Amino acid sequence: MRLSRFFLPVLKETPSEAQIASHRLMLRAGMIRQEAAGIYAWLPLGFRVLKKIEQIVREEQDRAGAVEMLMPTLQLADLWRESGRYDGYGEEMLRIVDRHDREMLYGPTNEEMITEIFRAYSKSYKDLPKILYHIQWKFRDERRPRFGVMRGREFLMKDAYSFDMDEAHARKAYNRMFVAYLNTFDRLGLKAVPMRADTGPIGGDLSHEFIILAETGESEVFCDSTLIDMGAPGLDVDFDGDLQPLVDQRTALYAATDEMHEPERFARDVPAERQLSARGIEVGHIFYFGTKYSDAMNAKVAHPDGQERPVHMGSYGVGVSRLLGGIIEAHHDDAGCIWPESVAPFGVGIINLKAGDEEADAACERAYSVLDTAGKEPLLDDTGDRGGAKFARMDLIGLPYQLIIGPRGLKDGKAEVKIRATGERHELSLDDAVSRLAEGAFS
């Protein structure tokens, strides 16, 4: 992409309405624009990151055996009357009436709809197990939308739903999602800790929130610090094998959100030097809820003994749009964003220090073409702006690598590579710089 052609409306001033770094940086770097409270347009730079996050979430869902589909954003109120949630959901639900006076709503979640779809087609234990998911916009009329995409009203969520014969089988689906989440967040450059969360009236131990630590997080959390650096299981996990040990290894250690916090147990079970109390951002939430919806909505399957019983379900959410904010909170400095390579909007920023200079232009075009062919998704700053402005803008948008090309260096055939995360600079021959960037030698 050439910057002269791109749409990158960076702001010089720090927007006063933004209270946390990620919100400020997303506005300043021209990633989002607020259209109404908690409702954002995704500008091209932000949209590129959103798509990358979405794709990683998708790949890890698929790897874990979940199957993608797409449900609509608009739903019939009657569906929610079946589960009894239409009246209970309250003011957070955006209710809509169509031209035929039919009551509808903009979906805040999809348990009812997926249960309705499942019951229409699946009648036997032989249709099980199944995990279905979609990545779709949700609307929740939050009382206090804030922190940009962190707590929006319209937001993108991956929500998966599992269907099993009984609790023992449902636990396997739960474990698949548990492990998939660890790998997903790891690929996104995040250290997300599964923490015990409230299961409400259903009880049991099968609800975890995945939390990344950040001072600006909305949740208060308590955990054994060992969990923070435990690392992910890795992409070669056998999802058809027994995942329980991987799950137990983590759930054996104390980690709870404030609703579930037991101060005495924390003090007793966690050595003092490992007692971490901090703030965190909920980026995912997994939940086994048994037959709550299948009972209410009559979603039954025949078991081997011929008896029909309600199917056991779980739901598994990831806040895809919230993750942009979460990743920035974890990876930024005073100058701007520092994207992990896996989600960076572009792989390399090429700075032409003297656009219009024949030699500099030609060198930049050559570098661009090699990096483009190598799949590095280069962004070439070919604008006529001053060097200082170009450096600041490139730092602000936070691409992992910068290739700086100017007439002075070119006299000796040289260019500079800057690693955004560390600030390290390497002066190299232009050819070396380009080929090493193309090979990913600086990763």
Binding site for ligand ADP (CB under 6 A): 109, 140, 142, 151-152, 155, 157, 282-285, 317, 319, 321-322
CA nearest neighbour of 286 among 160, 114, 142, 151: 160
Strand partners for 74: 106
Instruction: Select the binding partner of residue 257 from ligand ADP, Mg ion, none (C-beta < 5 to 8 A, by kind).
Output: none
Q: How far is CA 43 from the centre of its chain?
A: 17
3-state secondary structure of 267: helix
Q: How far is the CB of 282 from Mg ion (least distance, A)?
A: 6
Distances (CA, A) of 174 to 65, 135, 196, 287, 313: 12, 19, 13, 8, 10
**208: helix, strand or coil:** strand
Local structure of 93: helix, strand or coil: coil
Least CB distance from residue 285 to Mg ion, whole Å?
4
Provide, rounded to whole angstroms, the least separation between the CB of residue 118 and ligand ADP: 19
Total Cβ atoms within 10 A of residue 194? 22
155 binds, among Mg ion, ligand ADP, none (CB under 5 to 8 A by kind): ligand ADP
284 binds, among ligand ADP, Mg ion, none (CB under 5 to 8 A by kind): ligand ADP
Rounded distance between C-alpha atoms, residue 240 and residue 249, angstroms: 18
Distances (CA, A) of 259 to 93, 178, 263, 267: 24, 20, 11, 17
Of 45 and 323, which has the nearer Cβ to ligand ADP? 323
Task: Kindly provide the b/e burial profile for residues 372-410, where b requires at least 16 CB atoms within 10 angstroms of the residue's own CB.
Answer: bebebbbbbbbbeeeeeebbebbbbbbbbbbbbbbeebb
Least distance (Å) from Mg ion to the CB of residue 209? 6
User: Which of Mg ion, ligand ADP, none sits in contact with 183, Cβ below 5 to 8 A by type?
Assistant: none
By the rule CB under 5 A, 140 interacts with Mg ion: no
Task: State the sign of the Cα–Cα–Cα–Cα dihedral 201, 205, 206, 207.
Answer: positive
Cα separation, 75 vs 110, in Å, equals: 9
Alpha-carbon span 159 to 286, nearest angstrom: 9
Question: Of 59-67, 270-278, 285-293, 390-398, which part binds Mg ion (CB under 5 A)?
Answer: 285-293
The smaller minimum CB distance to ligand ADP, of residues 136 and 342, is found at 136
Q: Which residue of the chain is nearest ligand ADP when measured via CB?
A: 319
Name the residue nearer to ligand ADP (CB basis): 105 or 351. 105
**Least distance from ligand ADP to the Cβ atom of residue 127, Å:** 26
Nearer to ligand ADP, 142 or 365 (CB): 142
* Options 140-148, 222-230, 268-276, 279-287: segment touching Mg ion (CB under 5 A): 279-287
Q: Which range of residues in 182-190, 263-271, 280-288, 345-353 is near Mg ion by CB under 5 A?
A: 280-288
Footprint of Mg ion on 404-433 (CB under 5 A): none
Residue 349: how many other CB atoms lie within 10 Å: 27
Nearer to ligand ADP, 283 or 367 (CB): 283
Site membership for Mg ion, residue 208 (CB under 5 A): no
How would DSSP label each residue in 94-157?
A: EEEE-TT--EEEE-S--HHHHHHHHHHH--BGGG--EEEEEEEEEE---SS-BTGGGB-SEEEE
Angle between helices 244-251 and 167-187 (to 10 degrees): 70
- In terms of CB distance, is 84 or 407 closer to ligand ADP? 84
Applying CB under 5 A, the site for Mg ion has a residue count of 1
Could you say which of Mg ion, ligand ADP, none residue 390 binds, taking C-beta under 5 to 8 angstroms by partner kind? none
From 23, 28, 285, 418, residue interacting with Mg ion (rule: CB under 5 A) = 285
Give Cα 113 to chain centroid, integer Å: 23
- The answer to whether 332 contacts Mg ion (rule: CB under 5 A) is no
Partner that binds at residue 346, options Mg ion, ligand ADP, none, CB closer than 5 to 8 Å by kind: none
Q: Which of residues 85 and 285 has its CB atom nearest to Mg ion in the complex?
A: 285
Binding partner of residue 393 among Mg ion, ligand ADP, none, CB cut-off 5 to 8 Å per kind: none
Q: How far is the CB of 142 from ligand ADP (least distance, A)?
A: 5
The contacts of residue 350 (CB under 8 Å, 6+ apart) are: 364, 367, 368, 371, 378, 379, 380, 381, 402, 403, 405
Among 435, 438, 439, 431, which residue's Cα sits nearest to residue 414? 431
> What's the one-letter identity of residue 83?
S
Q: Which is nearer to ligand ADP, 151 or 292 (CB)?
A: 151
Contacted by 208, from Mg ion, ligand ADP, none: CB < 5 to 8 Å by type: none
Per the listing, tokens 């794709």 go with 55
**Shortest Cβ distance from residue 91 to Mg ion (Å)?**
18
Residues 335-364 that bind Mg ion (CB under 5 A): none
CA dihedral 122, 124, 125, 130 (to 10 degrees): -10
CB 210 to ligand ADP: min, Å: 7
Q: Which C-beta is closer to ligand ADP: that of 283 or that of 299?
A: 283
* Chain contacts with Mg ion (rule: CB under 5 A): 285
